[in-house]
């Protein structure tokens, strides 16, 4: 009985870890892509962070150049796949959106000096 619990726990762990890695990948293709979290921003909520996941290699960007619709990043890191994850203050993001659909653009500069801009849409609610 104890062995079956251990097998179930191991299988569950593999499924969860696989899901987390896949969720962190914004896109598997060559095209730059971002995913903004939360994908529904509730203006009345008291949450503090908006997170942008990307398929952009973390080591390839000038992290000081990163903005979301002109808002400077508060934090950036590499996810488990080596891709860029950027955080922004939710209050700053709330200041630039209105209820409905909002398009947010992550902009920055690669280490080679070339610029990039990648967009995603979110839903905004009161």
Q: How far apart are CA 50 and CA 93, in angstroms?
A: 8
CATH number for the domain spanning 88: value is: 2.60.40
**pTM reported for the whole predicted model:** 0.77
Q: How far apart are CA 40 and CA 62, in angstroms?
A: 28
Read off the pLDDT of residues 48-82 as tens digits, 9 standing for 90 and up. 899 999 999 999 999 999 999 999 999 999 999 99
Q: Give the residue-averaged pLDDT of 25-54.
A: 87
Sign, Cα dihedral of 78, 67, 44, 123: negative
Banded pLDDT at 46 (limits 50, 70, 90): confident
| 80 and 21 Cβ atoms separated by less than 8 Å | yes
Q: Tally the domains of the chain.
A: 1
Running DSSP on this structure, what letter comes out for residue 94? Answer: H
**Residue of 59, 49, 113, 108 lying closest to 84 (CA atoms):** 59
Query: Range of 38's domain?
Result: 2-125
Running DSSP on this structure, what letter comes out for residue 60? Answer: G
Banded pLDDT at 7 (limits 50, 70, 90): low
pLDDT at 24 over 50: no
Of residues 34 and 1, the one with the higher pLDDT is: 34
């Amino acid at each position: 009985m104890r062995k079956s619990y251990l097998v179930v726990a191991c299988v569950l762990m593999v499924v969860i870890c696989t899901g987390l890695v896949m969720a962190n990948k914004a896109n598997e293709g060559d095209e730059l892509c971002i995913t903004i979290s939360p994908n529904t921003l509730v203006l009345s909520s008291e949450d503090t962070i908006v997170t942008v996941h990307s398929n952009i290699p973390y080591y390839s960007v000038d992290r000081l150049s990163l903005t979301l619709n002109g808002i400077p990043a508060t934090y950036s890191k590499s996810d488990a796949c080596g891709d860029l994850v950027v955080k922004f203050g939710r209050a700053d993001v709330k200041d630039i959106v209105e209820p409905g659909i909002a398009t947010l653009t992550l902009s920055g500069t690669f280490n080679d000096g070339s610029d990039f801009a990648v967009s995603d849409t979110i839903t905004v609610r009161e």
